[in-house]
Structure 1
Amino acid sequence: MTEERPARLAHAPADHPMVPPAKIGVLFANLGTPDATDYWSMRRYLNEFLSDQRVIDIPSWKWQPLLQLIILSKRPFTSGENYRSIWNEELDESPLMTITRQQVTKLRKAVDTRYGKDNVVVDFCMRYGNPSTHDVIEEMVAKGCERILFFPLYPQYAGATSATANDQFFRALMAQKRQPAARTAPEYFARPSYIEALAQSVERAYADLERRPDVLVASYHGMPSRYHREGDPYHCQCQKTSRLLRERLGWDKDGIDTTFQSVFGREEWLRPYTVEHVVKLAQAGKKNIAVISPAFSADCIETLEEINGEIREAFEEAGGEFFTYVPCLNDDDAHIAALMEVVEENLCGWIC
């Protein structure tokens, strides 16, 4: 089926601009990725990421000199090395980009089947890096999207993830002469279909093992403890996801440990820290563990390099013997179905 082309409105004068047929947009957003692993690509990406005050809320007059003069002179080298260890060489892109594209390809097919191919435009953007939120919004508006559902791909809400993605979405709308109507999709950390998809991924991973792990560690991305005290619901939502997953699996209360990774800076972050916790498990005689990352909708640097690299090594150096990483849900069909539920609920009233 061919896409409808812009046309002149009925009864409009001959010099009236062409207007594309009205459509609805669904825009999925993930964290972001550098364009390449070289120093300047990494520096551009890290500068955008670490300059976001939702991520680092230190006053700019204190933070920017430290960031520009010290952190960004060194960190692009180490971060670039880490990205190179997981880089998709065939497509010359990060795994997050590859997986997000795969997810959205499946979601686009599901949306086309549900609503018709010419009614809804489905695309994705990144909060940091490319494709930028601003550029994709420009494209959607040009295609005739008069209503847009913006969907941050974070199961749990956090100011440093969901909120900053929404911020960027609304900033992009500010640049439009004719702003589309807008909705943002909520977090889905307790949705039964999401919990079911997580449980199925654990069951599949365990079915391939000769020995059942002593414990499943649910490692979530960390954030300063202060954010939790200031009202961010992320910590509570992570705990609930772990509890619901444990209940769905039918395990005892000690079957899943909830931990937090990716600590940055000197401030106290949510505890226990994953890297310290797995060391304690090994030292306590739990030599066989599995780790899952329920806060990530797609495998990325924090899962493939940090968990399956650094954290695995810490566990093994402490005497651990068997380490199983349970991949993120990625483009698993059960995950896509759960995301589609959110889309359908939030398009109600816009399209039947």
Structure 2
Amino acid sequence: MTEKHNQVGVLLVNLGTPEAPTSQSVKAFLSEFLHDHRVVDLTRWLWCPLLHGVILPIRSPKVAKLYQSIWMEEGSPLMVYAKRQQKALAEQVSAPVALGMTYGNPSIAQGLDELQAKGCDKVLVLPLYPQYSATTTAAVFDKVAKSLKGRPVIPALRYVNHYHDHPLYQAALAQSVKQHWQAHGKGDLLLCSYHGIPQRFADNGDPYPRHCEQTTSLLQAELGLADKEIMMTYQSRFGREEWLKPYTDKTLETLPSKGVKTLDIMTPAFSADCLETLEEIAEQCRDTFLEAGGERFRFIPCLNDDEAHIHLMASLVAQHTQGW
């Protein structure tokens, strides 16, 4: 194969997913995920025995059952949508597009190998995290650096740090809400639920909560909503320490008593539907809201491979590869 010269490639990155909805696959995935210092920064001699002796044996079978409830015919929802995003983006840009997951397969190293095999000596890394966090975006950068260590030739690299305030991202979010309202009517409240991080991380300088607040504020302006018509919360907390507040589940317990009977809920921090959106929000949180006296709970899907979302990605690629 004759390599092309001056070829730009795009590495599309998301968190990753188990390869099957089984305890064994989930355990392998969670082990890699929860070993990352970016995700859990506890001292290893304290964390590893707890992880392998208690958490993985107990959580893996439970999480496997949750994955079974959302598994699609083609596989894990996150991977199904990631492949659709990859295919759609490749049709929009004049560059090879490879997938790489921070944890699991295809790995970031495999994605870089694929681009190298296509002659790419310049790579744009596009983590599909609109809001920057050390727990997600920085973890991608760590994995890229680690995967390049020891290679005789490394590509020129550029990274997309965040895009929560990009006009096309905001337009895509707003369009998804408007389409939902056109189909189902407008609810009493639009709730934006973001994946949480420990409060301690934010106190140490992680800009993630500020990015989430900006996302919500810009979306509110895009939709022309009053303050009482939109709010934001944080989901998916793990462990006993304090995480970013307000918590999604606790908020849902109180909304019906405050007059919110019809709730529209979306997850702007997720670029593809996955366990945290399809099971935690669309199933668990739905039950919480209805049991508290709510009447209608309407989940607005992630942007996934929506045309407006792919248009945003293509714009990011064009913007960040200028001069290449």
Which TM-score applies when normalising by structure 1? 0.90
2:84 counterpart letter in structure 1:
Q
1:273 counterpart letter in structure 2:
Y
Aligned mate of 2:176, from 201, 210, 225? 201
Structure 1 residue 53 corresponds to structure 2 residue 37:
yes
| TM-superposition CA deviations, 1:9-41 (whole Å, max 9, x none) | xxxxxxxxxxx2222111010000001111111
* Post-superposition offset of 1:177: 1.3
2:179 & 2:118 partners in 1: Cα distance?
Answer: 41
Aligned mate of 2:247, from 266, 273, 283? 273
| TM-superposition CA deviations, 1:140-186 (whole Å, max 9, x none) | 22221111111100000001110001110111111421111111112
* Post-superposition offset of 1:250: 0.7
1:284 & 1:175 partners in 2: Cα distance?
Answer: 58
2:113 counterpart letter in structure 1:
E
Counterpart of 1:116 in structure 2 is: none
2:229 & 2:314 partners in 1: Cα distance?
Answer: 30
2:311 & 2:114 partners in 1: Cα distance?
Answer: 26
2:135 & 2:97 partners in 1: Cα distance?
Answer: 24
Counterpart of 2:319 in structure 1 is: 345
The answer to whether the Cα contact below 8 Å between 2:98 and 2:114 also exists between their aligned partners in 1 is no
The answer to whether the Cα contact below 8 Å between 2:124 and 2:158 also exists between their aligned partners in 1 is yes
Aligned mate of 1:181, from 141, 152, 156? 156
SS of the equivalent of 2:205 reads coil
Counterpart of 1:257 in structure 2 is: 231
2:238 & 2:256 partners in 1: Cα distance?
Answer: 24
2:301 & 2:283 partners in 1: Cα distance?
Answer: 13
Structure 1 residue 105 corresponds to structure 2 residue 80:
no
Q: How many corresponding residue pairs?
A: 323
Structure 1 residue 163 corresponds to structure 2 residue 138:
yes
1:175 & 1:215 partners in 2: Cα distance?
Answer: 52
Stretches of 4+ moved more than 4 A in 1? none
1:300 & 1:39 partners in 2: Cα distance?
Answer: 17
2:319 counterpart letter in structure 1:
E
Counterpart of 1:15 in structure 2 is: none
2:144 & 2:200 partners in 1: Cα distance?
Answer: 26
Mapping of 1:22-37 within 5 angstroms? 22=5, 23-37=7-21
Counterpart of 1:77 in structure 2 is: 61
Aligned mate of 1:289, from 250, 253, 263? 263
Q: Point out which structure has higher relative CO (alpha carbons under 8 A, 6+ apart).
A: 2
SS of the equivalent of 2:298 reads strand
Counterpart of 2:128 in structure 1 is: 153
Larger radius of gyration: 1
Mapping of 1:95-134 within 5 angstroms? 95-112=77-94, 120-134=95-109
* Post-superposition offset of 1:340: 1.2
2:241 counterpart letter in structure 1:
E
Task: Give the root-mean-square deviation of aligned CA atoms.
Answer: 0.9
* Post-superposition offset of 1:42: 0.8
Structure 1 residue 215 corresponds to structure 2 residue 189:
yes
* Post-superposition offset of 1:194: 0.6
1:135 & 1:205 partners in 2: Cα distance?
Answer: 37
Aligned mate of 1:40, from 12, 15, 24? 24
Which TM-score applies when normalising by structure 2? 0.98
* Post-superposition offset of 1:283: 2.4
Counterpart of 1:13 in structure 2 is: none
1:101 counterpart letter in structure 2:
K
Structure 1 residue 21 corresponds to structure 2 residue 4:
yes
- Over the matched positions of the two proteins, sequence identity in percent amounts to 44
* Post-superposition offset of 1:237: 0.5
1:296 & 1:175 partners in 2: Cα distance?
Answer: 33
Counterpart of 1:314 in structure 2 is: 288
Structure 1 residue 298 corresponds to structure 2 residue 272:
yes
| TM-superposition CA deviations, 1:291-324 (whole Å, max 9, x none) | 0100001111100000001111100111111000
